[in-house]
Structure 1
Amino acid sequence: MTTAEILKRVRRIEIKTRGLSNHIFSGEYHSAFKGRGMSFSEVREYSHGDDVRAIDWNVTARFSSPFIKVFEEERELTVMLLIDISSSSLFGTDTQLKRDLITEIAAVLSFSATTNNDKVGVIFFSDKVDKYIPPKKGKSHVLRIIRELITIEPGNKNNTNIGECLRFFNNASKKRTIAFLLSDFISTPYEDPLKLSARRHDLVGIQVYDKGDRTLPDVGLVHVQDSETKHVQWLDTSDKMVRKRYETAFDEHQKYSINAFRKSGSSLMSVRTDENYVKALQGFFVNR
């Protein structure tokens, strides 16, 4: 892809997703996430009706009178996008590739954050962390993120390791952060680092998948290659048991992800490549 083609595609994505952010998602984003980050403001005397859990026992003991800690909403939040760029994201059977949908959703979230004057950063990962862009503000920074989304390629290995990404995120982000993890979640196990991330941050998983990830079409004998492991084999798609095993494998990954997010206390939503992600995101934000 030439530089001119990249810039043209960036501009096209900007026009579509920035419009969605300004006219649709800015209110929902603000309602869903503003006020979730709180910072210490002051200590004042306890008044009837105050939450006893906010009592500052050190100050109370010093003055022999109850005092409470007062917190205020942090006006500036940080958003981190954890984006799966492994080879499986380059799969799609209908309207678009999973990577294309991930790019649009990431752009919408970035512009929504920018509209609210929040910082945005990105961690691109496959079997390892391929690139880290520290959080910053501003339109030019978001456009850089979109350019990277369009052009970045994974390293030598193409497997997916969500756990490695989450471990890097936990080390890099000391302050409480709003994090969106965008992946098809076909990965090695990641339950433990997910629990740690969910304790420290406001974490949301967005599963982007294609109908072909679950359903194998009946087209006879085909020569197939796994996009990540590069394993090649012949597959008889006319065999009902072969199609059933394929479906079961996807369902098992799905069940693992749902249980992992539920146990961690974080949120998970799913969007298919041939579905309207606008409605899905709107519904998710409203429900928060």
Structure 2
Amino acid sequence: MLPQEILAQVRRLEIVTGRLVSESFSGDYLSVFKGHGMEFASVREYAEGDDPRSIDRNVSARAGKPFVRQYIEERELTVVIAVDLSGSQSFGSADRLKRESATEVGAALAFAALQNNDKVGLAVFTDGLERWLPPRKGRRHVLAVIREILAFEPRGRKTAIGPSLDRLARMLKRRCILVVISDFRDSGFEPALKLCALKHDLIPVIIEDPRESALPSASAIVAVKDPETGDEGVFDLRGDAAEYAREEAERRAELGRIFRTSGLEAVTVTTDRPSLDPLLAFFRKRAKRRSR
């Protein structure tokens, strides 16, 4: 992408995404992350006299005994956007590439943080952490974050979420809102994800393309190529489609299990629908739940 094309894309995202954030997103963002005037600090084991309403059900369930949340007086928030730019993000069979959907989600989160005067950081990963923009405030920095997601050319094409999150966890010294944007087509990342979920307010955003979940219904043999490994092969849609659908269902079920046992609620964005609608729905649901 040429520099002038990148600049035009950044401007388009600022106009379209920024307006949507102002009209529909910012209030829910504020309710979710700043509604209580306190900032989560840590958890500790429940003691006699503690307010039962402060019990953290997710941590308690994992530990097998009650733990309570501890808060400190709220200060400014930090939002870190971790974006998977491996080879699979360059796939798209519908309205846009998965990378384009990821960029729109990242832009919305960055503009929401900007409107609330919060810091924004960016981590780009593939089979390792390739780019790190430390959290800062301001419009210029937010535009730099978006420009980086648009224009960054990764060295790696494979995905390694676990090692990337491990390294990011060592870099993040203080609790933050950590948004991980990926298709999560990887394995072995569960321990790193759970560690990050304990230390940070982690929000997984799954980027999917409809063709990844179901092959076409046809009597044909098609050539396929793995965008991460470059491996090529053929699919006989008369027989392989059913097997692929079964394996894909198993993969989705396992991913759902990982998120549930980590105490996480994921947002799913698909390339054939508006990217920000699921994100808006997620924040509205979370804001409503926290207002009870």
| TM-score, length-scaled by structure 2 | 0.84
Secondary structure of the structure 1 residue equivalent to 2:260: helix
CA distance in 2, matches of 1:160, 1:135: 24
> Contact (CA 8 Å) 1:185, 1:253: kept in 2 or not?
no
Q: Sequence identity, in percent? A: 39
> Contact (CA 8 Å) 1:197, 1:203: kept in 2 or not?
yes
Moved over 4 A (4+): 49-54
Q: In the TM superposition, what whole-angstrom CA distance separates every residue of 1:100-123 from its partner, at most 9, and x where no partner exists? A: 010001000000011111101011
Counterpart of 1:248?
246
CA distance in 2, matches of 1:205, 1:267: 7
For 1:110-189, list aligned pairs within 5 A.
110-155=110-155, 157-189=156-188
Stretches of structure 1 lacking an aligned partner (at least 5 in a row): 41-48, 55-69
Secondary structure of the structure 2 residue equivalent to 1:117: coil
Q: In the TM superposition, what whole-angstrom CA distance separates every residue of 1:218-250 from its partner, at most 9, and x where no partner exists? A: 45122211101111112222x1x3011222232
Secondary structure of the structure 2 residue equivalent to 1:277: coil
CA distance in 2, matches of 1:203, 1:128: 19
- Give the letter for the 2:39 counterpart: G
Secondary structure of the structure 1 residue equivalent to 2:117: coil
CA distance in 1, matches of 2:245, 2:133: 36
Q: Does 1:9 align with 2:9?
A: yes
Q: CA deviation at 1:71?
A: 5.4
Counterpart of 2:269?
271
For 1:35-74, list aligned pairs within 5 A.
35=36, 37-38=39-40, 51=51, 72-74=72-74
CA distance in 1, matches of 2:52, 2:173: 28
Q: CA deviation at 1:164?
A: 1.4
Secondary structure of the structure 1 residue equivalent to 2:266: strand
Q: 1:50 to 1:87 in 2, by over 3 A?
A: closer
Q: In the TM superposition, what whole-angstrom CA distance separates every residue of 1:126-185 from its partner, at most 9, and x where no partner exists? A: 111111111011111111111111111221x31111111210121011211101110111
Q: 1:209 to 1:106 in 2, by over 3 A?
A: same
Q: CA deviation at 1:52?
A: 9.7
**Cα RMSD (Å):** 2.2
| TM-score, length-scaled by structure 1 | 0.85
> Contact (CA 8 Å) 1:39, 1:73: kept in 2 or not?
no
Stretches of structure 2 lacking an aligned partner (at least 5 in a row): 43-48, 55-69, 287-292
Counterpart of 2:189?
190
CA distance in 2, matches of 1:52, 1:92: 48
Secondary structure of the structure 2 residue equivalent to 1:228: coil
- Give the letter for the 1:93 counterpart: S
- Give the letter for the 2:188 counterpart: P
Q: CA deviation at 1:253?
A: 2.4
Q: CA deviation at 1:285?
A: 0.8
CA distance in 1, matches of 2:256, 2:40: 29
> Contact (CA 8 Å) 1:160, 1:188: kept in 2 or not?
no
Larger Cα Rg: Structure 1 or Structure 2? Answer: 1
